[in-house]
């Protein structure tokens, strides 16, 4: 898990987390299907994952725990993605 301390790998991991959460929210959401809405859901998930990751890193509470910022980014991305999909029409 020490490899996740490298900036490139942590950025790629956060992008992957956000993309998966956004795609799952689009898949299970109430919105209509479409490539444009899927791309928007993925981008919203990635953005929320980055916000969650950086908030966890700036809080400086659990910096010794490697997976904590990634767990926070997963939770924030999932909550934001599903909240956006629920309100989409």
Is 50:17 a contact under the CB 8 Å cutoff?
A: no
Q: What share of the chain in percent tops pLDDT 70? A: 88
pLDDT digits (tens, 9 = 90+) for 2-33: 788 888 999 999 999 999 999 998 888 765 66
Q: What is the pLDDT of the chain when averaged over all its residues?
A: 86
DSSP E strand boundaries for the chain: none
Q: If you count them, how many residues does the chain have?
A: 89
- Binned at pLDDT 50, 70 and 90, residue 87 comes out as low
Q: How much is the pTM?
A: 0.85
């Amino acid at each position: 898990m020490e490899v996740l301390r490298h900036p490139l790998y942590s950025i790629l991991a956060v992008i992957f987390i956000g993309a998966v959460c956004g795609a799952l929210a689009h898949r299970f959401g109430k919105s209509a299907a479409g490539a444009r809405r899927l791309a928007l859901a993925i981008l919203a998930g990635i953005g929320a994952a980055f916000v969650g990751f950086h908030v966890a890193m700036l809080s400086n509470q659990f910096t010794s725990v490697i997976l904590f910022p990634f767990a926070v980014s997963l939770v924030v991305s999932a909550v934001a993605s599903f909240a956006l999909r629920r309100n989409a029409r």
